[in-house]
Structure 1
Amino acid sequence: MTRQYFNAIGGHPGQDKLLTDRAIFTEAYAFLPKGTMRDIVASYLPFWSQTRLWVIARPMSGFAETFSQYIMEVQPGGGSERPEIDIEAQSVLFIVEGTAKLSIGTDVHQLTPGGYAYLPPGQNWALHNDGSEPLRFHWIRKAYDAVEGLDLPEALVLNENDITPVSMPGTDGKWSTTRFVDPLDLRHDMHVTIVSLEPGAVIPFLETHVMEHGLYVLEGKAAYRLNNDWVEVEAGDFMWLRAFCPQACYAGGPGPFRYLLYKDVNRHMPLHLGRPMQRRMDR
């Protein structure tokens, strides 16, 4: 099956366009429609050449707490030999357009659309676009929460087209999740998955849970419940949901509704905000 991934970002609207759009920012959630990702709001990073990006989530008061997410755009010949400068940061890359040459230590991988890479903290890696077309990918970063007695996860390079989605119970495959890592592998403190709903499928209850979420719509459209609001969403839109924000979904069609999902998992809750968790009790 040929997968579809939204990638038409950038550009600039004409002077004849209306100012109103669908962007929403609340204490419980934020909704960034694709129309907000214009040339004028692009960012740049040190040690990256011929590259711009859109920051769609970052840790800050009243917004994302555990992760950052970028949409990266690398022109042919561009890239970085020093992409990450934070030694505590782990990363997930997900390719939506073009081809990436990813070097992990001495190993070299070619990532195409649907390609996924997990890069543990402290990993030596580099990425370049050695193709003839622009490379676009999502880069999700989280400070790794190490636990005494658990090893670091190893680097992974996969493609969603090689993974069989897991059907949610009682849905006959109409609601499924593509999982890149084993949910029972407690070394991982974040999961990045792809959630798929067929036309007419629903998330049939108001999910309310401790995981923070970032959802980027890869394909299709739906009505998504965010706290007290039903919001129409489509490919290219991004949603951030703080912990315990109620959510549900109705996929109206005509095609599948699919999104890239981030969540933090598998760790105790810190009991003192702004302070790292105490690793052992003083006796």
Structure 2
Amino acid sequence: MKTQIEQLRDEHRAAERLARSGLTPSRAGLFTGPPGVGKTLAARWLASELRLPLLVLDLSSVMSSYLGRTGGNIRKVLDYAKSSPSVLLLDELDTVAKRRDDAAEVGELKRLVTVLLQEIDDWPATSLLLAATNHGDLLDPAVWRRFDVVVNFPLPGPVELEEALRHYCGDEPLEGIGFLVRVLTGSSFADAERLVMSGRRRAALTGERLFEVLLQLGHDRLRHLDQAERLHIALDLVHDGELSQRRASELTGVSRDTIRRHQRERQPD
């Protein structure tokens, strides 16, 4: 993912070098993945690196109640973006570019796909067109083929979540961060940021240390898990040396006796 995004930047920075070889930079990139995983942030980073203005069009917001107007609205925005070098992000692409074989969609909406395809085909190499979708499976197959680069943004793993938490918390001491990482397993970067911001607000109101508040918020998030899942988290935290049995018990709601017994069972004979 990082390599693909950096290549988009490098191609546009070296457009003249590519031209000497009869090539042009990639004109269009498609970002796919669940909400909150960095698609919009990546577009902002590219615009900053290329020193170009970032234009963002939320396609869900231009869907007129009179569908016939939407095609014209999209053309006007894209014509404006093409008038000078820029990075244009089409957000919520699946709102417009749905499969044209979907019987549930009206004919006018299907014609919008054709309008969008024509605009992508005419996109100048001096600008970068990006599109983002949370639902790649809804896109018309012809839309996929129009993009030079497709970048999939997966949910962050443990390493990425820990890096994000450390970034959002700044200089705050983060003992026991492994607990929060496990609590956030399967979550997005946006989820991690919301957790930290909620903790910051509570800490500002109560005067508590931020990380103590975050640990309590993590404890609250575990309530929906069953006993077996909470026990698994507790055992991992104790085994990895992240937390003592007592602290793991407090945060997961699993008794120390249960943790101790299952820990002995884990140990090899």
TM-score by length of 1: 0.21
Structure with the greater alpha carbon radius of gyration: 2
Higher relative helix content: 2
Higher relative strand content: 1
Where relative contact order (Cα < 8 A, 6+ residues apart) is larger, the structure is: 2
TM-score by length of 2: 0.22
